[in-house]
Amino acid sequence: MKTKIVLVGKAASGKDYLKKKLIKQGVQFGISTTTRPPREGEVDGVDYHFVNKNQFLTYVDHGLIVFYQEFNDHYYGITKEEFKACDAVILNVEVLNKMSAEMRKHLFVIYLNIDILVRMERMKERDLSSKNVNQRIYVDNKQYEGFTNYDLMITNPNF
């Protein structure tokens, strides 16, 4: 039986937007832990749990992180405590693909597969440089090449 919702999608595909809509419907999202610094407007304990690299790696060493990854020289993961308490999480495709079959069978994965032009426009609205936009598109294309490990795919950018 599927017991957790997982959102996956390329950069600017609408994961945070859908997350906010689901939260309004009573869905409890797990808060990830990261070593990256907060972006403007982000709140510790609401958007992420912000920790330093040593603290994060200590969590990993003590088996307190369910799954994690390194991206752009920062670690992202979710603690066992957060994962047990939540209804849904946002994950990266690499983490999802490394997950055990036993864990995966309990997850309902929603893949937000939004058109590249829409995503590029959204990234530009976030004031990302053309170089950063192109880099994100390149990385996403490699990560999601042949991706089929989902239960539902959304392609409409106006969901």
What is the tens place of the pLDDT at every residue in 6-63?
999 999 999 999 999 999 999 999 999 999 999 889 999 999 999 999 999 999 999 9
Q: What are the pLDDT digits (tens) for 125-134?
A: 988 888 889 9
- From 3.30.63.10, 3.40.50.720, 3.40.50.920, 3.10.20.30, which CATH number describes the 30-85 domain? 3.30.63.10
Residues 49, 60: Cα–Cα separation, whole Å:
15
Q: Taking Cα atoms as reference points, which of 36, 40, 60 lies closest to residue 48?
A: 36
- From 3.30.360.10, 3.40.50.300, 3.30.70.20, 3.30.479.30, which CATH number describes the 1-29+87-159 domain? 3.40.50.300
CB atoms near residue 56 (< 10 Å): 23
Q: Taking Cα atoms as reference points, which of 96, 95, 90 lies closest to residue 112?
A: 90
- Parse the chain into domains and list their residue ranges: 1-29+87-159, 30-85
pTM reported for the whole predicted model: 0.89
Give residue 134's pLDDT.
Answer: 92
* Burial category of 2 from C-beta neighbours within 10 Å (exposed 0-12, middle 13-18, buried 19 and up): exposed
Name the strand (E) or helix (H) holding 76: strand 74-79
Q: How many helices (H) and strands (E) does the chain have?
A: 7, 8
Q: What are the pLDDT digits (tens) for 60-81?
A: 999 999 989 998 899 999 999 9
Q: Is pLDDT at 151 greater than 90 in this prediction? A: yes
Q: What are the pLDDT digits (tens) for 96-138?
A: 988 899 999 999 999 999 999 999 999 999 888 888 899 999 9
Lookup: tokens for 158: 């106006």
Rg of the chain's alpha carbons, rounded to an integer? 15
